[in-house]
Amino acid sequence: MTTKQQNKLAMYLAVKAVLDANNAVWQTLQAFADGYTGFNTQIGLIQTLAQGQNMDTSGIAQDKKASKFAMAQAAVGIASAVRAFAIKTKNNTLAGEVDFNQSDITSARDEDALANCQNIHDLANTNIASLGIFGVTAARLTTLQTAITAFSGLMGKPRQTIATGKTATQQLSDAFDAADLALDEELDNLIGQFTPANAKFVGDYQNARTIVDTAASHASPNQPAPAPAPAASKP
């Protein structure tokens, strides 16, 4: 949220507190009660959207990096064994297809890294009957496939989270507009109905409707006063 939105939300919450404390006063006026319901709904929506807007992608990016490393580590161990088998059997095509080191995979684009690791898995699986003496087992292939699947699930998440945050920002603006409308068009117009018998409630409501600039209120309150200019000397 922007500072302006934070200030406005603080006002909404102050108004809501006054209304909640005086529920018995206004609940019999149906139009006012309907306005409160709409206003309260938008406050809840604003709070939910603010959480979505502020989602941190750094943790997801770190998880993706770690997952890519684990996938590469599992793939390269198998690739080197398949390459040794290919060289021994003079299968130059196979040897070239699995000629990867760890940095080849971790530094590659995510899509390429995923495809290369899946190819290593599939080539090893095709030749699994001959790879036992080279240390490649079905269990290792399962471990590699699990790592590939895990990385695939994380590939789009940072971008997805950013997109979700942008959507939340637009929805947040719409929710503030709806909350303002509920106040301006409904509650503000009806609050005067309670003036004769509940003047304190009306006064509290009107005071709560004031937006306080919290950024300004957190500024240093004790700035030294400027020194007076020296008096001009008499001729």
Read off the pLDDT of residues 220-233 as tens digits, 9 standing for 90 and up. Answer: 445 444 444 444 44
226/19 Cα distance (integer angstroms) = 45
Q: Per-residue DSSP letters for 97-163?
A: HT---HHHHHTS-HHHHHHHHHHHHHHHHHTHHHHGGGT--HHHHHHHHHHHHHHHHHTTHHHHHHH
What is the per-residue pLDDT for 218? 47
Q: Count H helices, E strands: the chain?
A: 13, 0
- Whether 45 and 37 have beta carbons less than 8 Å apart is answered as no
- For the chain, what are the domain ranges? 3-54+158-217, 63-155
What is the per-residue pLDDT for 230? 46
128: pLDDT strictly greater than 50: yes
Tokens standing for residue 47: 């709070």
> Could you report the per-residue pLDDT of 201-212, keeping only the tens digit for each?
999 999 999 988
What is the per-residue pLDDT for 166? 67
Could you tell me if residue 137 is left (phi over 0), alpha (psi between -120 and 50 degrees) or otherwise beta?
Answer: beta
Of residues 133 and 224, more confidence is placed in 133
What is the per-residue pLDDT for 162? 52
Tokens standing for residue 227: 């020194």
What is the per-residue pLDDT for 61? 79
* Phi, psi of 20, rounded to the nearest 5 degrees: -65, -35
> Could you report the per-residue pLDDT of 62-104, keeping only the tens digit for each?
888 999 999 999 999 999 999 999 999 999 999 999 999 999 9
For residue 54, the one-letter residue type is: N
